Chain A
Amino acid sequence: MLASYNWLKELCPGLTLSPSEVADKLTGAGIEVEGQKPYGAPDECIVVKVLAMRPHPTKSGLRLVTVDTGAAQQEIVCGAPNVPEPGGLVVLAPLGTHLPAKNMTIGKRDIGGIPSEGMLCSDSELGLSEESDGIIILDQGTRGQRFTELVPNDVIFEIGLTPNRPDGLGHIGLARELAALVGIHWKPPFVVETEGRDTIELLSAKVTVEDGARCPVYAAAGAINVKVGPSPAWARYRLESLGVRAISNVVDVTNLVMLETGHPMHAFDYDHVQDAHIIVRRALETDAMKTLDGVTRELSEDDLLICDGRGPVALAGVMGGADSEIGNDTTRVLFECAYFDPRGVRRTARRHGLHTESSHRFERGVDWDDHAYVLARAVDLTSRLSPGTKALAGHIVVHGEPLSRKVIRLRHAKIRALLGIDVPMAEALATLTRLGCVVHSSSAGNDTEADVQAPSHRPDLLREVDLIEEVIRVRGIDTVPAELPAVRPTRDVGGREAAFSRVREAAVSLGLSEAVTFAFTTKESLAKLHAPTPSVTLKNPLSELQAVMRTSMLVGLIDALGNARRHGERSARLFTVGNTYEARGTASELRESADNLPVETARFAALLAGDSPAYLQKARPVDVWDALGIAEEMVFRVTGARADLRRDKTFAHLHPRGSAAIYVHDTLVGRVGPLHPDVLEAFDLGSDVVVVELDVMPLARAQPVRCAPLPRFPKNTRDIALVVSDDVPAGDVLRGVKKAAGELCEEVSLFDRFTGESIPKDHASLAFRVVYRSKDKTLTDAEVDAVHTRVIAEISAAFGTTLRA
């Protein structure tokens, strides 16, 4: 909503605040002024009279115009097609005038050998409108008069209104608000009494409202002997300054009244209203209409129409029809001022993809009881914008379902209870009165409570809290002091946030960086990853790229890697946390959620790509053991438990040689491995990409550590190097060593793996360190040697190992 400072001043004659102060006041009360900009022509511009005109001697299309500035006569070169005949009044920007709209300063110029000192200006050159067809031709003014005396400079506010304040969509509403905030009076514009003149009866128009729920009020007034033509300068510039194109005096009237009262109007050429009958009804299947924008509309039975004896003439509250438009030959005008059900208007506007000044206001709820004023003002303005017009007194009004002003009980105690401060009841009631409420004598006969009637222009005042908000809003919400509440201890519900936080901490400590990845993706991406087929699909996605909810966390990481590699960055160490989504399928799942909401599973995924970090040596591409390290450490750092990695070839997106399932306490919590070459190819990723996927919530169930006593006796360590066929998993040998070593064995670790040179082909040397320790005594070398010799024998029997020389 654009609002004019000058207009607000006209409505609030006592206003002494500067535009910036007005902006601050309104913003502080919740009518947010988002910007303000000056409107008007440069001060130097003057009105001049055309005296003579001749073609440019050498340049075709240009003319030399002699003008009288009041002080002198001068010749100006002009290219405009519409220079008026001698006697006409135009606007001159003299030498030295700066025109901010065109970012130019008028200088001495030589055009085709003719010097020109000054410029005859158009609206757009002066910044008065976006575009213009030619230079300004004035219908009033005198030679030498400053143009700004005719079209005063103004400041235009850009106001961002919240949808609960439709009253702010007109200058009267803003003036009322401003007056209440500043503590001054405002007054509606003067309307010439039309009593004693011909009345609306003269037109013998008939109005029928068939759907009273959708049209609680329909009122109409008229004017005859109208001569359609351009509006006078003040009206045109007022509209232009507020971003509305001036069209013709009759249409301009409807727009001016809308900008003033916030109430959209419609003007019909009465002679085109078939049977002089306005019918407000829902659309029938047989109805069709073409709206003002030239589009033929398919109508729904839910659309409310304004019809005449022939058929639809307007989409009620949204847009007029092309057929009953005001034309140049219109002489009899019927103005409509109605109140349409906001929700219905909104449905129609949305259905037809229309958002108009009119629908915007009706959707939010216009004043439902201002038609008498609105129509009188429109008729009066018509007679001023089109001299000779005969304004008809009175109006027709038809009521549908009755609306009423809500009466709300306001309790003084509740003000304190809600705000925490004491506001005197007298102040509260005075504020509400200034905003248009009517205070009924309080029922208790004292100042502890009162009945307050909300005005018809404030559909948002419905309950006591709404009134209390008005009171504190006008007093200044910032006057409420700060007071800390006593907060009673509460426990977390769910635990997902804490779990995510721990997972993030562990991942960052492992040198991974967090990516924030979108929860939606494409079916194709998930298919490429062999992820579960998405079962939660968006009905209205912004694009096909975000059409389904993800069933794998890897998509976002793969996208991130793709981006990084496009930037020339081969390596990445990324993780992401978030949910995957799957529709509830099984009966037990259905029981868990009465709403049948999808199952959201909290997950973690990590992706390592390119090279592993190395210190002053050749980089090494990431491999499956890097991934295993992330998997084991994530599990350990989050839960304190050891991850159990089991080879598992069933994960189709992972490399079959290197994929494993991750178990914690025999619960499957994730999977790990290099991406399958098919997946790399499908995403065009290149090589060296390994991933880890974990379910977060099972990890969140960490058991606290049990502290073990420290060993009392020394350990006794033996190393063995075993040569074994390299298809024997080292882990199996390690477990075998541990089992064979029995209960004296505290720990077995593989500390070297070696192939080649002296090791036979297809064999590897595995070096284990076995730590022996007894809980009860210091082991002698002889005792340890005895066990260790048995271990070597058992292992060689079980795995065909030989001791490495």
Chain B
Amino acid sequence: MFSAEVRWLSSMRDPPIRDGSCGKPQRMSEADDKKAEIDRALAALEAAFPARFVGAETEQALRDENAKILGKKGELSAILKELGRVAPEARKAIGEAANAVKAKVEAGFEARLREIAMRKRDAELNARPFDLTLPARIPAPRGHRHPISIVREELVEIFRSMGFAVFDGPDIDTEENNFGKLGYPPDHPATDMQDTFYTDKGHLLRSHTSNIQIRAMSTMKPPFAFIAPGTVFRRDDDMTHSPMFHQIEAFLVDEHVTLAHLRGVLSEFAARLFGDGTPVRLRPSYFPFVEPGAEVDLGCPFCKDEKTGKRLGCGVCKHTGFIEIMGCGMIHPTVFEACGIDPEKYSGFALGLGLERTAMVRYGIPNLRMMFENDPRFLSQF
């Protein structure tokens, strides 16, 4: 609007040039009086506006005051209405003077506007502080993964990043896949270690995730590296056993796989799970589907002396400095043969661990049963 007015002012300069009356001044003194009057009015306006602006306490009052001066029907316009009666040669000077006054008013308005805004901001900044002790408004209620799942996904991630892929298998499988092809002889005490649930159709609830080894090796040609996290079942129900629990199995089959490779993967696994340099200890043990077979102890992460790296002993590791965590071994040639893989050409390793045990160690869960009661007071801790 303001710029339009300036255009209007400049257009006022032109008509006298086209006007034929140029050089024929009429009633000179009246024109001079008018000019003086306008000059006085402009001077008065210029002198008065700062005080008027200061008198405006709010943004709205200021804008109103500003409109009174510069608006279409404002005081400046009113003054300039008389311009036509001023001698044409004086009009330019008045126009320039008016523009100067307008610019000053405009600047004064902007300054006062900023001042009012700053004062308002100061008042807001210095008002009573918010009560930060009120509870935070959470965007959505908090959800919790089960500790078994946290550990499960963590372990899957560790093995995935080492190049292993996930192989799914059923919870209910054949005796052949769960025992037979893994080298468990019928009527052998080895099956005592895993008291098994059978279904009325003669299948069984898998007693370990090792059935996945058989499923992979029976259907795929090496090389491959798989992990199999899953639910397993055994007929045991007491303070330290649940009839349903979870394991993760990892196995790698290729040409020239050695026990040293198994150890390499175990060391890397230990480092990623419990931190760099976590020691790995193997103790020979027996699982029918591996030979040699071993139990794996990892250096306790809870009583490690950061300076020396020594384990000082604590309740978690029963003061041994080591945590018994999994079983492993080189895949038995009998297993390869049962799956139609030539044990002279291929070798491989397998390892398995219990997710409940890992979660108990990791989170200091005192009691296995807590993991199956789904008490919200327990779940909400993770």
Residues of chain A having any CB pair with chain B under 8 Å: 27-30, 32, 162-165, 342-344, 346-347, 363-364, 416-421, 460, 463, 465-466, 468-469, 472-473, 477-478, 480-485, 487-498, 501, 504, 507-520, 536-542, 546, 549, 556, 559-560, 563-564, 567, 569, 572-574, 578-579, 581, 583, 595-598, 600, 613, 615-616
With contact pairs A494-B166, A597-B172, A613-B141 given, residues A483 and B258 touching in the complex (Cβ less than 8 Å) = yes
Partner of A488, one of B163, B231, B282: B163
Chain B, range 243-296, C-beta contacts under 8 Å to A: 243-244, 252, 254, 256-261, 263-268, 280-286, 291-294
Q: Which residues of A contact B168 (CB under 8 A)?
A: 492-497
- Complex contact A472–B235 (CB within 8 A): no
- Complex contact A346–B259 (CB within 8 A): no
Is B372 among interface residues, defined by CB-CB distance under 8 A? yes
Q: Which residue of A lies closest to B234 (CB)?
A: A542
Q: Which residues of B contact A487 (CB under 8 A)?
A: 162-164, 225, 252
Q: Which residues of B contact A581 (CB under 8 A)?
A: 171-172
Chain B, range 318-359, C-beta contacts under 8 Å to A: 330, 332-334, 347
- Complex contact B185–A343 (CB within 8 A): yes
- Complex contact A418–B199 (CB within 8 A): no
- Complex contact A472–B200 (CB within 8 A): no
- In the assembled complex, how far is the CB of residue B61 from the closest CB belonging to chain A, in whole angstroms? 33
- Complex contact B146–A515 (CB within 8 A): yes
Q: Which residue of A lies closest to B142 (CB)?
A: A511
Q: Which residues of A contact B146 (CB under 8 A)?
A: 513-516
Q: Which residues of B contact A165 (CB under 8 A)?
A: 286
Partner of B198, one of A420, A497, A517, A539: A539
- Complex contact A514–B145 (CB within 8 A): yes
- Complex contact B267–A508 (CB within 8 A): no
- Complex contact B261–A473 (CB within 8 A): no
- In the assembled complex, how far is the CB of residue A133 from the closest CB belonging to chain B, in whole angstroms? 34
- Complex contact A546–B243 (CB within 8 A): yes
Stretch with Cβ within 8 A of A (4 or more), from B15-23, B47-55, B374-382: B374-382
21 A–B contacts, CB within 8 A, in A order: A162-B286, A342-B187, A418-B347, A469-B291, A477-B282, A483-B258, A485-B252, A488-B224, A490-B164, A493-B167, A493-B168, A504-B153, A514-B146, A536-B201, A537-B200, A539-B198, A540-B198, A541-B197, A563-B374, A567-B377, A597-B174
Q: Which residues of B contact A596 (CB under 8 A)?
A: 201
- Complex contact A537–B294 (CB within 8 A): no
Q: Which residues of B contact A563 (CB under 8 A)?
A: 373-375
With contact pairs A477-B294, A519-B233 given, residues A484 and B374 touching in the complex (Cβ less than 8 Å) = no
Is B192 among interface residues, defined by CB-CB distance under 8 A? yes
With contact pairs A418-B330, A578-B231 given, residues A536 and B172 touching in the complex (Cβ less than 8 Å) = yes
Is B190 among interface residues, defined by CB-CB distance under 8 A? yes
Is B10 among interface residues, defined by CB-CB distance under 8 A? no
- Complex contact B286–A538 (CB within 8 A): no
With contact pairs A477-B294, A494-B169, A573-B143 given, residues A32 and B283 touching in the complex (Cβ less than 8 Å) = yes
Q: Which residue of B lies closest to A537 (CB)?
A: B200
- Complex contact A468–B292 (CB within 8 A): yes
- In the assembled complex, how far is the CB of residue A359 from the closest CB belonging to chain B, in whole angstroms? 10
Is B239 among interface residues, defined by CB-CB distance under 8 A? no
Can you name 10 extra interface pairs (CB under 8 A) apart from A473-B292, A481-B263? A163-B286, A364-B189, A418-B292, A469-B284, A490-B226, A538-B205, A567-B377, A581-B172, A616-B134, A616-B135
- In the assembled complex, how far is the CB of residue A422 from the closest CB belonging to chain B, in whole angstroms? 11
A481 to B266, CA, bound (A): 11
Q: Which residues of B contact A417 (CB under 8 A)?
A: 256, 258, 347
Q: Which residues of A contact B376 (CB under 8 A)?
A: 513, 564, 569, 572, 574
With contact pairs A484-B268, A518-B372, A536-B199 given, residues A463 and B166 touching in the complex (Cβ less than 8 Å) = no
Closest 8 CB pairs of A and B: A494-B168, A420-B260, A420-B258, A30-B284, A511-B141, A487-B163, A162-B286, A508-B143
A486 to B142, CA, bound (A): 41
Q: Which residues of B contact A469 (CB under 8 A)?
A: 284, 291-293
Q: Which residue of A lies closest to B141 (CB)?
A: A511
- In the assembled complex, how far is the CB of residue B342 from the closest CB belonging to chain A, in whole angstroms? 13
- Complex contact A163–B192 (CB within 8 A): yes
- Complex contact B259–A418 (CB within 8 A): yes
| Chain B binding surface SS class | mixed
- Complex contact A542–B237 (CB within 8 A): yes
Is B65 among interface residues, defined by CB-CB distance under 8 A? no
Is B86 among interface residues, defined by CB-CB distance under 8 A? no
Is B101 among interface residues, defined by CB-CB distance under 8 A? no
Q: Which residues of A contact B373 (CB under 8 A)?
A: 560, 563
Is B24 among interface residues, defined by CB-CB distance under 8 A? no
Partner of B286, one of A30, A508, A513, A546: A30
Q: Which residue of A lies closest to B143 (CB)?
A: A508
Is B193 among interface residues, defined by CB-CB distance under 8 A? yes
With contact pairs A488-B225, A538-B200, A567-B377 given, residues A493 and B165 touching in the complex (Cβ less than 8 Å) = yes
A596 to B176, CA, bound (A): 13
A561 to B331, CA, bound (A): 44
With contact pairs A492-B167, A542-B235, A596-B201 given, residues A497 and B229 touching in the complex (Cβ less than 8 Å) = yes
Partner of B267, one of A163, A465, A482, A491: A482
Partner of B187, one of A346, A468, A542, A583: A346
Q: Which residues of A contact B284 (CB under 8 A)?
A: 28-30, 469, 472-473, 477
Partner of B258, one of A418, A465, A572, A578: A418
Q: Which residues of A contact B144 (CB under 8 A)?
A: 508, 513-514
Is B216 among interface residues, defined by CB-CB distance under 8 A? yes
With contact pairs A162-B285, A343-B188, A482-B260 given, residues A490 and B292 touching in the complex (Cβ less than 8 Å) = no
Q: Which residues of B contact A541 (CB under 8 A)?
A: 197
Q: Which residue of B lies closest to A500 (CB)?
A: B149
- In the assembled complex, how far is the CB of residue B7 from the closest CB belonging to chain A, in whole angstroms? 28
Is B156 among interface residues, defined by CB-CB distance under 8 A? yes
Q: Which residue of B lies closest to A479 (CB)?
A: B282
- Complex contact A583–B189 (CB within 8 A): no
- In the assembled complex, how far is the CB of residue A465 from the closest CB belonging to chain B, in whole angstroms? 4
- Complex contact A490–B141 (CB within 8 A): no
- Complex contact B166–A498 (CB within 8 A): yes
Q: Which residues of B contact A569 (CB under 8 A)?
A: 376-377
Is B173 among interface residues, defined by CB-CB distance under 8 A? yes
Max chain A Cβ within 10 angstroms of own Cβ: one of B135, B143, B200, B203? B143
- Complex contact A597–B283 (CB within 8 A): no
- In the assembled complex, how far is the CB of residue B238 from the closest CB belonging to chain A, in whole angstroms? 10
- In the assembled complex, how far is the CB of residue A616 from the closest CB belonging to chain B, in whole angstroms? 7
Is B170 among interface residues, defined by CB-CB distance under 8 A? yes
- In the assembled complex, how far is the CB of residue A70 from the closest CB belonging to chain B, in whole angstroms? 44
Max chain A Cβ within 10 angstroms of own Cβ: one of B134, B170, B192, B224? B170
- In the assembled complex, how far is the CB of residue B369 from the closest CB belonging to chain A, in whole angstroms? 12
- In the assembled complex, how far is the CB of residue B139 from the closest CB belonging to chain A, in whole angstroms? 10
A493 to B259, CA, bound (A): 26
A581 to B171, CA, bound (A): 9
Q: Which residues of A contact B264 (CB under 8 A)?
A: 482-485
Max chain A Cβ within 10 angstroms of own Cβ: one of B166, B220, B225? B166
Is B127 among interface residues, defined by CB-CB distance under 8 A? no
Q: Which residues of B contact A616 (CB under 8 A)?
A: 134-135
Q: Which residues of A contact B334 (CB under 8 A)?
A: 463
- Complex contact B371–A516 (CB within 8 A): yes
- Complex contact B261–A420 (CB within 8 A): yes
A495 to B156, CA, bound (A): 13
- In the assembled complex, how far is the CB of residue B196 from the closest CB belonging to chain A, in whole angstroms? 8
Q: Which residues of A contact B224 (CB under 8 A)?
A: 488, 490
Q: Which residues of B contact A567 (CB under 8 A)?
A: 375, 377
A493 to B216, CA, bound (A): 9
- In the assembled complex, how far is the CB of residue B182 from the closest CB belonging to chain A, in whole angstroms? 14
Is B129 among interface residues, defined by CB-CB distance under 8 A? no
- Complex contact A597–B170 (CB within 8 A): yes
- Complex contact A516–B281 (CB within 8 A): no
Q: Which residues of A contact B135 (CB under 8 A)?
A: 615-616
With contact pairs A343-B185, A465-B292 given, residues A513 and B226 touching in the complex (Cβ less than 8 Å) = no
- Complex contact B143–A512 (CB within 8 A): yes
Q: Which residues of B contact A598 (CB under 8 A)?
A: 170, 172, 199, 201, 203
